[in-house]
Chains A and B, each alone.
Chain A
Amino acid sequence: MTGKGGVGKTTVSYALGLAAAAAGKRSIVCEIARQEHGSALFGRDPIGFNETELTDGLWAISIDPDKMVREYLEVLLPVRAMASLLYRSNLFAYLAAATPGLREVVSIGKAYELTLDVRRSPDGAGTYDLVIVDAPATGHGIGFLEAPGTFRRIAKGGPLADQASRIERMITDRERSGVGIVATAEEMAVNETAELAEGLEETGVALEEVFVNGLFPERFSDAELERIRTAREQRPSAALDAAIAEAERAQTQQIELERLRGIVTGVPIDELPFLFAAELGVEQLRRIASVLS
């Protein structure tokens, strides 16, 4: 899942997870960011780098790319003492800072591990039917998906490059992997979605679905809106103002939504409602999930 900042990428990721879990799929949302948000949505303490079941069939893990070097080294190196040595020396951290694509390979590497039929994690974790990666916002988004290929080309050989190749094969395998773009029906978000969709074609990663989030309800017909406007001229009313503002916003959104449908063709475009709530929580996620399923 990718998209511009502030469009509700994390919300939609978890809603998708809820919908999948309700359909009987054991699912996990994998947040890749310095700050995690999912635990708060479910009213839980931060979960960090621990696979945690948030609700029936829906799991989550939070990956801070800066902090997961050690686990990664342990997966990569057969002898734990060697991993520990490399980690303590800080050299791998320097290498990760210096080598384009390596940090991303390390983050996606964990998501890749979650998809395996036989898990490598030492604690005997279960397997998942669906792994939802809440990727960094666009700008970073395409770079994130291109990272394994970029890294493989730079490193050419060695176990890390092999791992990067395996990840690259997985994310470009159209049978198994796909990208969902989350957008809002606003000019900049629509433009960015169009650019992202175009960029994806070049990377060989399949665009699976576009989620247009935050759509205002269309409560009034054009004729009704005219009546409301006429009434507003006769008498000031906060309620009429609110109705007009909402209708105008909905109209603008529908224009942008149509524009998006004209540009991005051949994939489903899902429409998700704006959530009028002071704070988002499980109840709101379930509403989005019910639209998705």
Chain B
Amino acid sequence: MSPHLDAILAGRSICICAGSGGVGKTTTAAAVAVAMAARGLKVAVLTIDPARRLADSLGLDELGNVPVRVELGEHGRGGGELWATMLDAKATFDEVIDRYATDEKARQRVLDNRIYQQISGALAGSQEYMAMEKLYELDEEDDFDLLVLDTPPSRNALDFLDAPRRVTQFVEGRAMRLFIRPTGFGARIAGRGFSVVSAVLRRVTGGDLIADLSEFFSAMAGLLSGFRDRAERVEGLLGDERTTFLVVTSPAGEPIEEAGYLRGKLAEGDFPLGAMVVNRVHTTGAPGAPEEGSREALTGLLGDEDLVARVLAAHADRGVLADRDRTNIEALRAASPGVPVFEVPELSDEIHDLDGLRAFARMLMPDDAG
């Protein structure tokens, strides 16, 4: 019998929920946060794009870039606290610039740059990186016992693993700077083919773009060492022993494949995987219920052959999904020896209050164990 999730999270101060889109990552993160707060911890959940009703369920009109306290009601009887924040990637990027700009003029020069304005929202990896930046900030500056991060809905669930490196590499822009100002030492290294390449590129892109990029990289130059230093520490959080990952998935074929892939990548990078959570699992009937509602018995109960046929059709359809889910989850378990896999059954309605989140969390950690 594998341990419950609260035991897995004991002594950890950061829990990162990762997985592909549409598998219930946000709900899982919120449920874990509520349940751990109910166990007396001071918890913050960083979410990316909660459904309005989830924000409502946390008792909040609006979530912002600064954590707000959630009224826990009876779930706060253990003395815990729950805080919630919704990530604003652009505002967080601006804060990073604020932190490392040496003076107001340098700060404004970056913030005013057209390339920066586009990049802070649109650069690949910037949302992922900023989520981690926020996580780092909360970890450094506040006294939370546990931070739960819901990762952004990336095209690829792994994007956040190398996001700090990608963003830093981009901002450093070594190759670009070399090319933009091909004078002196840089130009000599690049060799004589360089001016030809440079001319071709200018021909394709037009001069204005290159001028703007050049301005961006030179405006960023003063901030670089602070930025790079910070990114290294942020990246360090991912592999820290206080951190654990939860891989969240649904039991359909593609998300399961993605979850297996993610598990492999985490292992490769030595990132600590705490558990996997499979949401929306279809089952057939409660345990102990007779395996088959035989046609005769059902006809006796319902008294209508046509209705019985439709009930049996519904049962058969559900059986197809239950079989698929069981096969997929077994494959996931087999491929992930030693990793606890929790299953959460398909719910007929979406979760929209603290009680609902708490009920969800009971599939991961029964109340009496806490």
Contact = CB atoms under 8 A, between A and B. Distances in A.
Contact of A85 (B200, B315, B349): B200
A80 B196 CA distance: 14
A171 to B, nearest CB: 18
Contacts of A154: 114-115, 118, 208-209, 212
A235 B297 CA distance: 10
Given A237-B285, A246-B317, A278-B327, A4 B175 contact: no
B77 interface: no
Contacts of A238: 284-286, 289-293, 315
Interface stretch (B9-17, B19-27, B268-276, B356-364): B19-27
Contacts of B118: 100-101, 150, 154
A180 to B, nearest CB: 18
B301 A91 contact: no
Nearest to A32: B155
B124 interface: yes
B46 to A, nearest CB: 17
A23 interface: no
B350 A187 contact: yes
A161 interface: yes
A136 B290 contact: no
Contact of B288 (A186, A234, A236): A236
Given A7-B22, A95-B201, A241 B170 contact: no
Contact of A191 (B52, B253, B255, B297): B52
A94 B22 contact: no
A92 B298 contact: no
A234 B297 CA distance: 12
B175 A94 contact: yes
Contact of B289 (A37, A143, A155, A237): A237
Contacts of A6: 20-23, 250, 255
Contact of B155 (A140, A187, A224, A228): A140
Contacts of B324: 277-279
Contact of B196 (A85, A160, A237): A85
A236 B290 contact: yes
A101 B8 CA distance: 42
A98 to B, nearest CB: 6
Contacts of B22: 4-7
Nearest to A245: B348
Contacts of A136: 155
Nearest to A190: B51
Interface string A151-183: 000111111110000000000000000000000
Given A86-B197, A95-B176, A248-B348, A239 B320 contact: no
Interface in A1-34: 4-7, 33-34
Contacts of A34: 155-156
A5 B20 contact: yes
A236 B313 CA distance: 18
B221 interface: no
Interface residues of B, number: 77
Nearest to A189: B22
> Which range contains the number of A residues in contact with the other chain?
35 or more
Interface string B276-318: 0000000011101111110001100110100100111111011
Contacts of A224: 307
A279 B253 contact: yes
A231 interface: yes
Interface string B187-212: 00000010011101111111111001
A77 to B, nearest CB: 7
Given A86-B204, A278-B323, A187 B315 contact: no
Interface in B58-96: none
Contacts of B323: 278
Contacts of A120: none
Interface in A54-111: 73, 76-77, 82, 85-86, 89-92, 94-95, 97-101, 103
Contact of B200 (A82, A227, A234): A82
A187 to B, nearest CB: 5
Contacts of B179: 91, 94
Contacts of A73: 204
Contacts of A236: 285-286, 288-290
B317 A186 contact: no
B204 A76 contact: yes
Most buried by A among B193, B200, B323: B200
A199 interface: no
8 contacts: A33-B155, A85-B193, A94-B175, A98-B176, A161-B205, A228-B307, A238-B286, A241-B285
Interface of B: 20-23, 49, 51-53, 114-115, 118-119, 122-124, 152-153, 155-156, 170, 173, 175-176, 179, 193, 196-198, 200-209, 212-213, 250, 253-255, 284-286, 288-293, 297-298, 301-302, 304, 307, 310-315, 317-321, 323-324, 327, 346, 348-350
Given A187-B53, A188-B350, A237-B290, 7 more contacts: A4-B22, A191-B51, A236-B289, A239-B312, A239-B314, A245-B318, A277-B320
Interface of A: 4-7, 33-34, 37, 73, 76-77, 82, 85-86, 89-92, 94-95, 97-101, 103, 136-137, 139-140, 143, 150, 154-161, 186-188, 191, 217, 219-220, 224, 227-228, 231, 234-243, 245-249, 252, 276-279
Which 3 pairs across A and B sit closest by C-beta, in order of nearness? A5-B21, A6-B22, A158-B206
